[in-house]
Structure 1
């Protein structure tokens, strides 16, 4: 607890520089990464991250210093150039985008390693620490670095805020944006530039190798919590900021622990948690929804078969044994018994002397499922021109998801038919 209080007291200027820098870099990268993620260009971040290394090395060779401004300019030039080359290869050749990304990533990174090796053997004392760009070294951020990277991070956030609607539109439907008269190519160029800048700023904290994770992971995690792009962007920024703050705190508590990798570890943990527990898209939630849907289909199929048995005997409310039901339609015995108990609890059937029969509510529900099944069969046969012998399987699925509104439209479209394609009566 004392360590936590000391950390948040920000009494040490170096702690302030590292913490603020990590939060700004992580949050700004996450915001830009949201649109990269939505455009399904997750690998682009990795390509840019590896392509900035030769730019950093060339900037150092030409300037002779590790001034962050010169390094950013050099990194931006080669990072942006790599994306231009990837786009041109994809558009003008038969090479697919993923192949072009792998090609450019490898070539640029190889050139960067060659230049870095040359610098290390040049005897220039100023090159000390330049290799930290490979794996990141947020703890090396000083006041001067913080000023430059902080300005770039603010530029990124402000630019996204100003062009949010346009970026959102080209991320989802570039053709529609073009039809509206928006400068799609210009906006693509802007997003490309923002992506490169985000990578360039974040690379100081997490390095070339891990930067793609910092760009994409917060957006991927936020996507599990919402369908609203605005909320998703804010969530991604918060998750990125929290991971940056937490990574800086871990490094403060355990100085041997590197800040950058811990930032990535924490955002990955947040993403993994989101994948499982997000209320609508999470794996657990979707598993529960799928199980609930399977139970609903099982219950409705059972009520439907009870109605079919009643039609055959001209006695809808006749009590049926499990054997009779299975003879009409096969159900696994354990699932059948679970469904019968569930329907009984819900008031759709009752049990009398070991046999099962409809309640009035059960009869109405079973009749509606049969009605929807036969209406859909007739629709497929009449309007889709599908042979009556081939409509049953499709109707078996659709009958469970037809809404009351669609049911009314079907009735009106088919002019309230009395029989289905198999000459079976449609109950109303």
Structure 2
């Protein structure tokens, strides 16, 4: 069940419809109660049918309200969720006071109780889960296309509305099969959390779904194991706790998009900007003195460009280690490689200033800060395009010579 909800949740997550899972989870309760009232039996297939009908109806109402009124989708979800859940609670209360002895365990749909799942229920839910996975497998390309680019899917003639209906139906069934284990309150977490956690580890949808499925399976097994070791501990909440811990670890330590990875990237970018600003400063001082290989002290550099002294010292140390500067006692000077790189940064700065003044009609005294930012991310390909656009200019907006390689 956790595997099915994790796989289907990937499409829900990518379509930015995470709250839909919460709405469906709360909306299946009245369907379960109505099925029981009509049949007097807790047959899992009968309850599934009722849950599927009210779950699908809730999605239809959300889309109807958001498209026919001025309310946004989140407001429509809040309305439908609360109304359906309120009706479900009323029906469940009426059943509990109705005297039908067969209603025992029906309240497990509210908060979840894995221990109340009978073997025949497990077989029924397992069969539905297999059908869901088969449906995802055969319509994987189509579901992927409508998740990423619905307009393109329509343009190439795909039956988008039919595919969306199928994906919605699969989502509802995935929610319904997991309700009895974790309950309507926590089911949305099992639908979205594995997908959100897996997204931090990969950009490939196939791999994302496999990772989400493994996370869902692990949380289901480990949550049930914890509940087995401590019988007083409910299974459903522990399953959600486990997947939540996996998600927190993913958000924090994922190698590309995790918090620490992004922090490392920010620190690396800041160091790069500092180093390139120092090289540009050496080049500007060399232009002024007409000698690019004069030794410079920290005091001289800070006089020309104010910055934190410790940042400057660290930058000088990195540039010396990288071979862009040579150090003699407390003075530094360009190497040939350092001069070439400093020249390029100065050229990019002045080209971008000229571009902003010519094409965006900005005043020359308003372009320096923007050029300071963009000069560090202009690629050689973009530099060539700018040069062609500006027709290889000689001076910038301040009549300062633009340095080329033969400068």
Verify same fold: TM over 0.5. Answer: yes
Deviates more, 1:321-330 or 1:70-79: 321-330
Could you tell me which residue of structure 2 aligns to residue 395 of structure 1? 371
In the TM superposition, what is the alpha-carbon distance from 1:388 to its structure 2 partner?
Answer: 2.5
Q: Using the alignment, how far apart are the partners of 2:153 and 2:367 within structure 1?
A: 40
1:297 equivalent to 2:268? Answer: no
In the TM superposition, what is the alpha-carbon distance from 1:135 to its structure 2 partner?
Answer: 1.1
Could you tell me which residue of structure 2 aligns to residue 307 of structure 1? 283
Give the alignment partner of residue 12 of structure 2, picking from 16, 24, 36.
36
Could you tell me which residue of structure 2 aligns to residue 21 of structure 1? none
1:418 equivalent to 2:394? Answer: yes
Structure 1, unpaired ranges of 5+: 1-24
TM-score (norm 1): 0.92
Q: Using the alignment, how far apart are the partners of 2:68 and 2:104 within structure 1?
A: 42
Spell out, residue by residue over 1:326-385, the C-alpha distance to the aligned partner (whole angstroms, 9 max, x if none). 111111111111111111121211222422211111111111100111122222223333
Give the alignment partner of residue 199 of structure 1, picking from 175, 181, 205.
175
Could you tell me which residue of structure 2 aligns to residue 12 of structure 1? none
Give the alignment partner of residue 116 of structure 1, picking from 92, 105, 129.
92
Structure 2, unpaired ranges of 5+: none
Deviates more, 1:251-260 or 1:198-207: 251-260
The equivalences for 1:333-348 within 5 A come to: 333-348=309-324
Secondary structure of the structure 2 residue equivalent to 1:198: helix
Q: Using the alignment, how far apart are the partners of 2:86 and 2:385 within structure 1?
A: 63
Q: How many residue pairs align between the two structures?
A: 404
In the TM superposition, what is the alpha-carbon distance from 1:281 to its structure 2 partner?
Answer: 0.2
Q: Using the alignment, how far apart are the partners of 1:184 and 1:105 within structure 2?
A: 26
1:55 equivalent to 2:31? Answer: yes
Aligned-pair Cα RMSD in Å: 1.2
In the TM superposition, what is the alpha-carbon distance from 1:46 to its structure 2 partner?
Answer: 0.5
TM-score (norm 2): 0.97
Secondary structure of the structure 2 residue equivalent to 1:351: strand
Secondary structure of the structure 2 residue equivalent to 1:356: strand
Q: Using the alignment, how far apart are the partners of 1:351 and 1:97 within structure 2?
A: 62
Q: Using the alignment, how far apart are the partners of 1:162 and 1:136 within structure 2?
A: 31
Could you tell me which residue of structure 2 aligns to residue 16 of structure 1? none
Give the alignment partner of residue 242 of structure 2, picking from 240, 260, 266.
266
Secondary structure of the structure 2 residue equivalent to 1:201: helix
Higher relative CO (Cα under 8 Å, sequence separation at least 6) belongs to 1
Deviates more, 1:104-113 or 1:376-385: 376-385
Q: Using the alignment, how far apart are the partners of 2:156 and 2:398 within structure 1?
A: 50
Secondary structure of the structure 2 residue equivalent to 1:422: coil
Deviates more, 1:378-387 or 1:26-35: 378-387
The equivalences for 1:9-408 within 5 A come to: 25-408=1-384
Deviates more, 1:62-71 or 1:416-425: 416-425
Secondary structure of the structure 2 residue equivalent to 1:298: helix
Q: Using the alignment, how far apart are the partners of 1:37 and 1:321 within structure 2?
A: 55
